[in-house]
Amino acid sequence: MAKKIKTVKNLKKILLIVLILALVGGLLYGLVRICLIASVNGQLINRFAVVKELEKQGGQKTLDVIILKALVTQEAKKKKIVISQKDIDAEIKKIEANVVSQGLTLDQLLEQQGMTKSGLNEEIKIQMYLAKLVGSDVKVTEKEINDYLSSQNSETSTNTTQSLTREQVSAQIKQQKLQEKIQTYLTDLKAKAKINYFVKY
């Protein structure tokens, strides 16, 4: 009886060791899959080498974009601005209709831009936050429309470019003014923020 109990205990130990080895093996395999992304003639290339190279090429610009997104999100939360998924979906439908009218699908456009649907959702949310934070009360005067049209007419008199309607011109000027307002707002927001850089690019 004692021999049988000892055999059962030994079996449990062996099973435990096998289980631990399988777990360690799985973790090592997972780490290799995460860290190593290619090999060239047997020389392994790890993910960190790629990240380091990408950081050299556009690290500061990418970091600035991430910082601005964080600042906008923080400011929106402070001011209790809420953007629902329904609002985002409505905006995506508008974008999709515009894209389809140009003979593309939304998926094709996203692929061309190297963007995912979740990335598009995030971009739209940030733009909607900004529109609410900055306010879209941008005025366009008749003089601005007339000046724009006359400058376009003198430029297009030599070629056959289709002329724009007053509504289209007004929308273009309004969009340009809104972008300038947003840019000023973001510059001020960043200037007032306490940002600590732990890495220099």
Task: Give residue 161's pLDDT band: very low, low, confident or very high (50, 70, 90).
Answer: very low
* Global pTM exceeds 0.75: no
Using alpha carbons, list the distances in angstroms from residue 43 to 39, 46, 50, 68. 5, 10, 14, 39
Question: What pLDDT, on the 0 to 100 scale, is given for residue 146?
Answer: 77
Question: What pLDDT, on the 0 to 100 scale, is given for residue 70?
Answer: 92
Give start and end residues of each alpha helix (H) in the chain.
Answer: 2-35, 47-78, 85-101, 106-113, 117-134, 142-156, 166-192
Q: For 61, how many CA atoms within 13 A lie in the half-sphere containing its CB?
A: 4
Both tokens of 162, joined, read 């289709």
Model confidence over 39-93: pLDDT tens digits?
677 777 777 777 778 777 788 888 888 888 999 999 999 989 888 889 888 888 8
Model confidence over 3-38: pLDDT tens digits?
555 565 667 777 778 778 777 776 766 665 667 767
Query: How far apart are alpha carbons 50 and 124 in whole angstroms?
Result: 29
> Average pLDDT for residues 86-101, to the nearest whole number?
84
In the chain, the amino acid numbered 96 is E
